[in-house]
Amino acid sequence: MNPLLTRSALACASLALAGCASLQPQQGFAPLQAQTQALLKQDLQWPRDAEQAAALDARVAELLAVPLTADSAVQIALLNHHGLRAELHQLGVADADLVQLSRPLNPGLSLGRMRQGSETEIERGLHLNLGSWLSLNRSRRVGALRLRQTQQDLALKVLAIAAQARKSYYQALAAEQLRQYSLQVMEAAEAGAELARRMAAAGNLNKLRQAREHGFYAEAALSVARAEAQARSQREALIRALGLWGEQTQFRLPERLPELPGAARDLPEIERQAIAQRLDVQAAKRAAELRASELGLSQRTRWINVLELGVVRNSSNEEPTQRGFELSLELPLFDWGQARVARAESLYMQALERTAHTAIQARSEAREAYGRYRSAFDIARHYATEILPTRQRIADENLLRYNGMLIGVFELLADARAQIGAVAAAIGAQRDFFLAQAELDQALIGPAAASALPSSSSTAPAEASAGGH
């Protein structure tokens, strides 16, 4: 082969090797892992083979061996949620795109053989796309920005899965606590109904009073059925949020919700805090930066969409060998690149407007979440410090009156039933506070999810029948 052609090929190969990037998706995962640790204080893992997956399964089994807490539920979701694992593979896609954009287009080799009478002519050509080389650095930067945007998008999904796991935990725990309380109410109602039946059989209780006691027992049994259905539903929602299956679904929950904190959090600069650390705001800024880079790339390459340099060597058995080079350039007769530039400009302005919209939404969502949090805390605290203690004092006074034979057993039972609605509502208010707290934490670092606070009355056992006894 001609020395000029050989040297040209070797030079192209050297440049290509120098500009090549290697596939390293794990490096793209490391910043996401560090960000999760900083924001959630939890570990995020991305298993890439069967051995790593088995290690995570063992770790999840250790967490499930003891009663769940809100933090352990979040940790299990981050380690075990297969939907999240599927999303993490977007890092591999973005890393491959970055490597692809970091490499110039492959050179082209052309060979030709032509005969004219006794003359045989052989053509050899090596062509290199200069446009891809001229825009290589900017293309690499665009690929890096796309990778960072993918990391930001995945961070938002991680936060959403963590928030859903935490809220599902509190909902399942509250539903289980209400179920247990419903069983206690039904047992008390059953004892009252049995006592009424015996007293009526002995002629010491009229049929109307007996029917009322039996009716309360029937309603209490119905409330138990409803509470059990609600507890099963919320437990399944928690199972889905954690990605559990098989024996993993046999986890245990604590007996009751955690105690309320001593005081509500004071966040006077919640808007500034949300703007500074919310990932959706950062992702919108990153998208605008990406569009700006793409706009610059479009403006730079509008005239050199096709620019090729070729080395040519033609040999003939009758004529001297021809050597030289050729340069091919696309003539912008019909497409001057205005459409590509205009499209990039529109996408850039769109990204700017979306960034402003995201910032406005973030401020509002943070204020709204904090307002719900403070209201939920005040309501739950009022139940804990005013309503339930007052109900307990009334019960204690009535017990003293019963011991002094000033009231009968059914009057004592009627007063105890009046507490049922208050206790159930207090459990619901305590649950709503922890859900509001989880939503506030989410609103400070990511887009707030739709409120999923069920009404307290929807799970109150026998609340409707509390009055009138």
Given a cut of 50, whether residue 255 has pLDDT beyond it is: yes
For residue 134, the model assigns a pLDDT of 61
Q: Compute the distance between CA of residue 414 and CA of residue 433 in angstroms, rounded to an integer.
A: 30
Least-confidence region, from 173-182, 365-374, 415-424: 415-424
Q: Compute the distance between CA of residue 76 and CA of residue 71 in angstroms, rounded to an integer.
A: 9
Question: Helix, strand, coil shares of the chain as percentages rounded to 5?
Answer: 70, 10, 20
For residue 70, the model assigns a pLDDT of 95
pTM score above 0.95: no
Cα angle 266, 272, 274 (rounded to 5 degrees) comes to 85
* Domains in the chain: boundaries: 3-459
Least-confidence region, from 14-28, 164-178, 306-320, 372-386: 306-320
Tokens of 289: 């930066």
- The model's pLDDT over 92-104, given as tens digits with 9 standing for 90+, comes to 888 887 777 777 7
**For residue 263, how many C-alpha atoms fall within 13 Å in the half-sphere facing its CB?**
3
Q: Compute the distance between CA of residue 414 and CA of residue 395 in angstroms, rounded to an integer.
A: 10
Given a cut of 80, whether residue 185 has pLDDT beyond it is: yes
- Structure-model confidence comparison of residues 211 and 75, the more confident one: 75
Interval 194-199 mean pLDDT: 81
Given a cut of 70, whether residue 334 has pLDDT beyond it is: no
The burial class, CB within 10 Å (0-12 / 13-18 / 19+), for 455 is exposed
For residue 457, the model assigns a pLDDT of 40
- Structure-model confidence comparison of residues 281 and 464, the more confident one: 281
Of 430, 437, 417, the C-alpha closest to 456 is 430
Fold of 3-459: Outer membrane efflux proteins (OEP) (1.20.1600)
Interval 304-323 mean pLDDT: 55
Return the exposure string of 349-384: e unless at least 16 CB atoms fall within 10 Å of the residue's CB, then b. eebbeebeebbebbbebbeebbebbbebbebbbebe
3-state secondary structure of 86: helix
Per-residue pLDDT band at 131 (split at 50, 70, 90): low
Residues constituting the chain? 469
For the ranges 118-122, 193-197, 225-229, 344-348, the one whose mean pLDDT is highest: 225-229
For residue 258, the model assigns a pLDDT of 94
CA 93 to chain centre: 19
Tokens of 340: 């590509």
Order of strands, sheet of 119-129, starting from the edge strand that comes earlier in the sequence: 108-116, 119-129, 307-316, 322-329
Interval 377-390 mean pLDDT: 92
Q: What are the C-alpha distances in Å from 201 to residues 209, 212, 298, 410?
A: 13, 15, 94, 16
- Structure-model confidence comparison of residues 158 and 311, the more confident one: 158
Least-confidence region, from 261-265, 416-420, 460-464: 460-464
H or E segment and range at residue 227? helix 207-242
Query: Which phi and psi angles does 128 have, rounded to 5°?
Result: -130, 130
Query: Which phi and psi angles does 317 have, rounded to 5°?
Result: -80, -5
Largest CA distance in the chain: 134
Of 30, 67, 35, the C-alpha closest to 46 is 30
Mean pLDDT, the chain, rounded, equals 78
Tokens of 219: 């309603």
Per-residue pLDDT band at 9 (split at 50, 70, 90): very low
For residue 77, the model assigns a pLDDT of 95
Cα angle 458, 459, 461 (rounded to 5 degrees) comes to 120
Interval 144-151 mean pLDDT: 81
Tokens of 14: 């050297």
- Structure-model confidence comparison of residues 354 and 333, the more confident one: 354
Residue by residue, DSSP assigns 23-82 as: --HHHHHHHHHHHHHHHHS-------SHHHHHHHHHHHHHHHTS---HHHHHHHHHHH-H
Least-confidence region, from 68-82, 366-380, 401-415: 401-415
Interval 38-42 mean pLDDT: 89
Least-confidence region, from 108-122, 181-195, 287-301: 287-301
Asked whether the beta carbons of 228 and 255 are under 8 A apart, the reply is no
Which is it for strands 307-316 and 108-116: parallel, antiparallel or unpaired? unpaired
- The model's pLDDT over 401-435, given as tens digits with 9 standing for 90+, comes to 656 666 656 666 666 677 788 889 999 999 999 99
The amino acid that residue 260 corresponds to is L
For residue 381, the model assigns a pLDDT of 95
